[in-house]
Structure formats: C-alpha cells, structure tokens
Chains A and B, each alone.
Chain A
Amino acid sequence: MIETEQLTRCYGNLTAVDALNIRVEPGQVLGMLGPNGAGKSTAMRMIAGFLVPTSGVARVCGHDVVREPLKAKRALGYLPEGAPSYGELTVREFLRFIVRMRGLRSDAGHRRLDEVVQHLQLDDVLDVCIDTLSKGLRRRVGLAQAILHDPPVLMLDEPTDGLDPNQKHAVRQLIDVMARERTILISTHLLEEVHALCNRVVILADGKLLADATPAELEARSRYHGAVSFSAPGSSMSQEMLGRLPEVASIEVDPLDGRITVFPKPGERILEPVEQLLQQQGLEVSEIQLERGRLDEVFRHITTEVERDTTDGGRP
C-alpha cells in the first residue's frame, strides 16, 4: 500500500508538489497523469525516499519513508525516471549488484534473477555492457532491477517511455500479471496507457491533485461522452434533420474527412434516435460509433483550467 498525507515539496519559492493526498491499495494500478513539470517525478522521489518532503508524510506498506526508510525501501520496487543504471557494467553484473543490495541469498537470488531475465527477454544481452544497449533494452533492465526482489509495492516512473509498440505491449502484460496482488503506482503522459493498465487515475498539474477517478469516470466528463459519430456521403441533408431531434445539442463536421459527430444534451442517450432517423431517411452511413469520451480532451480541460486560474490569480 502507498499512502501520502499532505505531501509537499518546495524548491525555493517553487512548490513542486502541493499537499498531495493519495492512497493506493493492493490490487490497484494507479496511473499518475500530468503535463511535464506537474510534480509526478518529485512525488515519486519522495515516496521512494530519495527526496525528503518539505512537509507531509509518505508511507509504503505502513512504513513512514522518513522515519523507517529501510523498511519502506525493502517493500518497494522503484524504476526512477529514465531508468538509470551503471552503464559500464554488463546486464548480469548490474542485476547481481541489485541482488546483493537487496540482501537476497545467492542461490535464491540467482534463481529469481533467471526468472526475471526470462520475463523481460533479456537472455540475449546478459553479458552486454549496458551502455551499448538500445533505449528499450535499457528500460527493460531498469524494470528487471525494480521487480527483482518481488516487492509488494511497485512504483514505475514512465515505464514504457521509449519502447516500441511490441515492447510496450510486453511491459503492460508484465504489469498486468504483477498487478493482481500488488500495489502499483505508475506515472505516464501516455493516455492510451491509462486505458491499457490502470484501474484508477489521478491527474496532477502544478503539484496539485486535480482529479482522482476511474478511467471510465474521467471519460464520462468528456464532451464526447455519449456522442455518436458516423461517416455519410451527402450529409448536408441529414445534418439539418439531426439538429431537429429533441435530444441533440449540437453537430460538428470534421473538416478533413467529413465525419459527423452528434452531441447529446446532458443526460440524453442519442444512439437509437439517430440511427432511426438515418434509417428513415434511407441514408447510407458507415462506421457509426458511440463515443466513450476522449481522455485527452478531459486531460487538457482539467490541466489547462488550472493554468488559467493561476495566471488570473497572478494578476489581481
């Protein structure tokens, strides 16, 4: 379990993390979203015990990271931003160093090392110097380092950054498998990742927690939630008709591909009436789709709102 209470970190006048309260339970994968510089990495560094909080508390498995740092660190597997490792060592040497640092006994440690290496498909590069590895491989070495001692709590700072789609898929599968009985906190700015991995999302901007919800709840906040979109040739006719439906609030046409999106009035469901109308008119439509909502739009909305607020506040 990871808990933070009013966790705050200042650099001089700048407040990088502002009274952050989050709580991640076992079995949960919490995605921390936010624009660059939102304070995601700073928050993680405090939870990992690298940075000391200016005020507030962070606990890993009930251990205060400032008062009982060793106990907290033992329970935690942490992939720092950029997956740093000792580049002059080979993958095997580096992972053996971690085995020793984690205090694993050599036989059990080596068995676990083989397991992790297989999981992350690092067999072929075991005796290659880390400096010569590609970015994706280096990230996998960083992941191997984080899960080597099979920790109950896992914290990954941008785990799939710089990976190709296949590698991303592999890493997500790994996290999915690990998620069942563990507490996982990941930070990312990839919205697709949230869908693929997380069962809860928090959004941070300017160090403040702006949203804490499930991905579906966030999508429901989108203007696109419940909208219906379709492609139809000769659509100018149907647009007028659609606009007359009582449930419809507005209609937009994509200037590039002519795709039409129909937005509902709040609380209305419009898929059926729209379909009926199109059928009555005998219009040929393709790819009719009910939108779940767009996370990127919600994200932009939530994070830029703060910016506007703070700039307004700055000029009284």
Chain B
Amino acid sequence: MSPTGAVMRRELRSYFVTPVAYVFLVIFLVLAGILTFYAGDFYERGQSDLQPFFIMHPWLYLILVPAITMRMWAEEAKDSTLELLLTLPLTLWQAVLGKFMAAWLFIGLALALTFPIWITVNYLGDPDNGVILAGYLGSWLMAGTFIAIGSCLSALTNSQVVAFILTALVCVLLILIGQPQVLDFLQDNVPRKFINAIAHLSMLRHFEAISRGVLDLRDLLYFVLSMIAWLMASVLLLDLKRTR
C-alpha cells in the first residue's frame, strides 16, 4: 500500500475510534433533515427536487467541516506525532493528500447517508435524478474545497481552536463574497473589473450553478483548482515549519 493510502486509512481509523465521526454524522444528518423540511419548505414548495436540501449545505459545512479539519495538523504538531510522521519515508504531498482524502471520503460517506431524502423525493414525485446527482457532486466538491482550506489553516497553527475559527472565517468569506449585498458595498470603493473578479470567487455562485444541473467546466475547475491551491499552501506551510 502506498504511504498516501496508509495515512488515509490511519486518519479514517482515528475518526471512527474517537467520537468525532459519529458526532459529525449524527449532527450532519439531523441538521440536513430539519433544515430541508422546516427552513427549506420542502413540502410547501410543491416541486419535486432537492434544491431546499442542497441550498443548506454551505452553511452546514461552514460549522462542521472546520470541526473535522481543525485537528488535522494542529493536533499532530502538539502531540509531536508530526515528527514521527515526517520521519517516515513519505513526501509532504503524500501526507497532505492522505489526510485530505480521508476527510473528503468521510464527507462523501455523510452525503451518501442522506439517501432517505433522495428516496423521499422520488416517492413523492418524479424529480430529475440527473440534477440531483449534479447537486451531490457540487456539494461534495464544495466540501473538498472547505477541507483543503481547513488543512492549510490547521497547518498554520498549533491551536485547534484558532484553526477552527480561521477556517470558518475564510469559508464564510468565500460563501458571502458573491452576494449582492457584499458586491453593492464594494461597488463604491473598488473598480468595476475587480467587482467581476470578486464575484467569480464566490463559492455559492459556482455551487448553485452545478446544483441546478448545469455542469460547466469553469465551475468544476473552480473547485478543483481551489483544492489544489489550498493543499499546495498546506505543503508549503508544513515545509516552513521544518525550516523555521
């Protein structure tokens, strides 16, 4: 087995022997259900799709993903297991990728466990399952971006609390930045060209496009490139820890 795979397995194992995994799964599933049915007006809308379900995901991830990623490197640095890990024969990229994949697969599992909602909507009506699949894909890609951000900011600090707050902060910025309120506020102070660029940074805009079932390469690239960039930053920060 490759070192990446070994790191991933160990990381997943740690999720499930500590309560982290179960607490996350229960809270995620309960909140996803409640928010969809109550806040999202699932029934009253009278439409057979999962829009009210997916629209809640950025906000769920905002709280729950930093809780998963905050320990990723901060805990290793504090328990000096980082020294153990990085003196084993693997590259920093393999270590970062292994941990990232573990968290991403775990969120994938959480998403898969929301299948009762999918069954419900198919039972009640006749939804376009292609759009729903796209919604799941978009949600998973967005979760991956959140995780990559969390990985980077957990590598930045030895304190899990600081890692949590910074990750949530960066994520909320990336969610809100494309909202009309924010853009209106910026309009007076920032040149028009930048406003456009800033609007394209918005995670919400790309996610909504995908979850409507429009698979545009640009939206997919946005998430993939974000993940790569934040993971590269994680590698750089960890490398910096060794030289500093």
Contacts and interface: CB of A to CB of B under 8 A. Distances in A.
Contacts of B87: 48-50, 73, 76, 78, 80
B129 interface: no
Interface stretch (B1-9, B42-50, B53-61, B198-206): B1-9
A66 B49 CA distance: 55
A89 B88 contact: no
A107 to B, nearest CB: 13
Contact of A52 (B13, B80, B84, B243): B243
Contact of B89 (A52, A82, A101): A101
B89 A103 contact: yes
A80 B13 contact: no
Contacts of B193: none
A214 to B, nearest CB: 29
A51 B89 contact: no
Chain A's interface size range is 20 to 34
A52 B5 CA distance: 26
A226 B79 CA distance: 47
Contacts of A48: 83, 87
A50 B91 contact: no
Contacts of B7: 101
A73 B84 CA distance: 11
Contacts of A50: 83, 86-87, 242
B160 to A, nearest CB: 15
B14 A97 contact: no
Given A50-B242, A93-B13, A85 B6 contact: no
B5 A100 contact: yes
Contact of B18 (A70, A73, A81, A88): A88
B192 interface: no
B84 A97 contact: no
A52 B86 CA distance: 12
Given A50-B242, A52-B242, A70-B91, A80 B10 contact: no
A273 interface: no
B17 interface: yes
A298 interface: no
A51 B5 contact: no
A98 B86 contact: no
Interface string A283-295: 0000000000000
A236 B232 CA distance: 78
Nearest to B17: A88
B81 interface: yes
Contacts of B79: 84, 87
B83 A45 contact: yes
Nearest to A77: B87
B116 to A, nearest CB: 31
A221 interface: no
A38 to B, nearest CB: 19
Contacts of A69: 91
B90 A101 contact: yes
Given A49-B86, A73-B88, A84-B80, A89 B243 contact: no
Closest 9 CB pairs of A and B: A100-B6, A73-B89, A48-B87, A84-B80, A52-B243, A80-B83, A101-B88, A97-B10, A74-B89
Interface of B: 1, 3, 5-7, 9-10, 13-14, 17-18, 79-81, 83-84, 86-91, 242-243
